[in-house]
Amino acid sequence: MCKLAYAAMDDCDTLDQATRSLAKRFGNRPAFQLDDQVVDFEQIDRASDQVAEGLRAEGLSPGDRIAIVAKDCIAGYEILLGCAKAGCVLVPLNWKLSGEELKNILHDSRAKLVFADDTGSTKLAGFEIHPRPLSGYPAWRDSQPQIRASFQANAETPIVQIYTSGTTGIPKGVVLAHRTFFDLRRGMRQMGDDWMGLTAKDRLLLSLPQFHIGGLWWAVQGYLVGAMGVLMESFVGWKALELIEKSQVTQVPMVPAMIQFCLAEPSFDSTDLSSVRGFLYGGSPISSELLRTVQHKFLNAEFFQIYGLTETGNMAVCLRPADHGNDRLAHAAGRPLPGVDCKIVGVNGNELPANQTGEICLRTPSLMLEYWNRPDETNATSIDGWLKTGDAGYVNEEGYLFVSDRIKDMIIYAGENLFPTEIESALLRHEAIRDAAVIGVPDPKWGESPKAFVVLNETVEKPRIRDLMKFAKSQLAEFKVPKSFEFVTDLPRNPSGKILKSEIRRPYWQNQNRKVN
């Protein structure tokens, strides 16, 4: 077995331990960069000591929640590590939410201190806790003495509380422990599996937001190996391309919507992408055509697809580079990572055999601690170490997981179970369709019928609906073909790129006594 490059998760269990260890090992090497601002490993260790002391001086105790409402910034990671040293729990919130949504989540989180940028402060005007402006954060931090905090976390100590994106229902606070960022990757490395092979020589594009588990987990994984994180305040296609070329980024994470934004940029073809050696994607289904296009452009990169949830601490299943050339696995999510178990259960809770569709359940060392202040929902979702994902799918004979859809998004048409993602994937094979969403709409005869909303490719002649139906029939069983189509300019998505089916569905179901027929 070859010797793996250094990673702090090999000899540390918590972020406070890791921050001190990394400062000793990497000193003045850059840890995070945002435009012209750079902070090294020693500086972020000192800054997080001051943040921890500042939190203590504010009267905060271990377990208290500290919220941040801001675009991504280096201060966000200093505050995260300061929380780790003080025993507090960081609650990073989506700055794109409305003021009312943010206030509701802050009430639920019981945050005792809120940091906010100008946008966040404006949205929180009148809130019972006056937000601490991030513009004054450097002065507040630097006014604190640099004292080593006496608090000592352990692997089970909560460190972040991330609110689910809420594609359906009210967002829930998912409480994650330090082990979420350490145990899975440590276990993999002990088995000789170094996954994407992240090292201190890498430069990671931090294109996913800190308030999303994918963004936070990715940034921390780079930090733990001594790599430099190249921050983006928020994702913009041209800016991502510019940073990749200018900063010689080696590892890139994107959801499919981000990939499409980059491809649409006039500068895409002229951008030098040769530095990228690893490309991580996930978050929502990707069409075969889009994947082939981006693989052709990032010629030096190996491609990894991951599947997981906030509740699983990000990734649990991965489709490796070697699997990407296998047509039989074109729609697979991948295999469970070492240390992760996956099973499919039926409506009675019994495990199903290979190739039978049911609910996906995952067991992982990164599993959440709880839903904040929701014991009933925690107990209904996390059972004996297994997480019920709410996703439908199946596992084939080789152990590859195929995700069909959200169980709640399933359409029951004339007694047949239809999974929208299967229909959407088929529609996306049509050259004129750039994006697609399928929902079930009320049907007095059949209960529900599938309706497709499509965004057209402007470079191709607009197709007739009957042509789209004919194409769909060539790709799908006839009962799966959408019974109606609607052309739209775009589809509503949450910050992680997932289509908000609830928003599309609402006008058709709001006057119905039942949300399914």
What is the domain-level CATH number for residue 183? 3.40.50.980
Whether 496 shows a pLDDT value over 70: the answer reads no
* Residues ≥6 apart with Cβ < 8 Å to 298: 252, 273, 276, 279
Fill in the amino acid letter for 320: R
pLDDT at residue 65, rounded to an integer: 98
Q: Which domain holds residue 78?
A: 1-229
Whether 463 shows a pLDDT value over 80: the answer reads yes
pLDDT at residue 165, rounded to an integer: 62
| Per-residue exposure over 222-238, b if at least 16 CB sit within 10 Å of its own CB, e if not | bbbbbbbbbbbeebbbe
In a domain, 291, yes or no: no
Question: Which of 272-286, 376-390, 471-485 is predicted most confidently?
Answer: 376-390
Residues 54 and 180 in one domain: yes
Distances (CA, A) of 511 to 166, 507, 514, 515: 22, 8, 9, 9
Residues 77 and 142 in one domain: yes
pLDDT at residue 169, rounded to an integer: 55
In a domain, 215, yes or no: yes
Residues 391 and 492 in one domain: no
In a domain, 380, yes or no: yes
Residues 438 and 383 in one domain: no
Q: Are the beta carbons of 416 and 369 closer than 8 angstroms?
A: no
Examine the fold and report which residue of 408, 436, 453 is the final residue of a domain before the chain moves on: 408
How does the average pLDDT of the chain come out, rounded? 93
pLDDT at residue 1, rounded to an integer: 46
Residues 53 and 152 in one domain: yes
Examine the fold and report which residue of 195, 229, 263 is the final residue of a domain before the chain moves on: 229
Whether 366 shows a pLDDT value over 80: the answer reads yes
E strand segments, 396-507 = 401-406, 411-413, 416-418, 433-443, 447-456, 484-487
In a domain, 66, yes or no: yes
DSSP 284-310: S---HHHHHHHHHHSTT-EEEEEEEEG
> In 3D, which of 119, 267, 236, 107 has the Cα closest to residue 173?
107
Q: pTM for this one?
A: 0.85
Segment among 50-59, 212-221, 320-329 with least mean pLDDT:
320-329
What is the rounded CA–CA span in Å between residue 267 and residue 145?
47
Tell me the pLDDT tens digit for each residue of 19-65.
999 999 999 999 999 999 999 999 999 999 999 999 999 999 999 99
In a domain, 266, yes or no: no
What is the rounded CA–CA span in Å between residue 132 and residue 135?
9
Higher pLDDT, 242 or 348: 242
In a domain, 279, yes or no: no
SS3 assignment, position 437 = strand
Residues 348 and 420 in one domain: no
CA dihedral 352, 354, 357, 360 (to 10 degrees): 70
Whether 513 shows a pLDDT value over 80: the answer reads no
Whether 167 shows a pLDDT value over 60: the answer reads no
344: enclosing H helix or E strand: strand 341-345
SS3 assignment, position 456 = strand
Residue 341 pLDDT level (bands cut at 50, 70, 90)? very high
pLDDT at residue 516, rounded to an integer: 46
80: enclosing H helix or E strand: helix 74-86
What is the rounded CA–CA span in Å between residue 480 and residue 471?
12
Residues 204 and 347 in one domain: no
pLDDT at residue 477, rounded to an integer: 81
Residues 427 and 470 in one domain: yes
Over residues 339-363, mean pLDDT? 96
Tokens standing for 419? Answer: 């999974």
Neighbours of 29 (CB within 10 A): 14
Over residues 426-431, mean pLDDT? 93
What is the rounded CA–CA span in Å between residue 108 and residue 48?
26
Whether 159 shows a pLDDT value over 50: the answer reads yes
Residues 375 and 489 in one domain: no
pLDDT at residue 43, rounded to an integer: 98
> In 3D, which of 284, 286, 301, 294 has the Cα closest to residue 197?
301
In a domain, 377, yes or no: yes
pLDDT at residue 330, rounded to an integer: 87
Q: Specify the CATH number for the domain of residue 494.
A: 3.30.300.30
Whether 510 shows a pLDDT value over 70: the answer reads yes
Q: Are the beta carbons of 491 and 453 closer than 8 angstroms?
A: yes
Residues 361 and 417 in one domain: no
Residues 117 and 200 in one domain: yes
State the total domains in the chain.
Answer: 3
Q: How many residues does the chain have?
A: 517
Q: Specify the CATH number for the domain of residue 379.
A: 2.30.38.10
SS3 assignment, position 352 = coil
Residues 494 and 481 in one domain: yes
In a domain, 62, yes or no: yes
Examine the fold and report which residue of 172, 207, 229 is the final residue of a domain before the chain moves on: 229
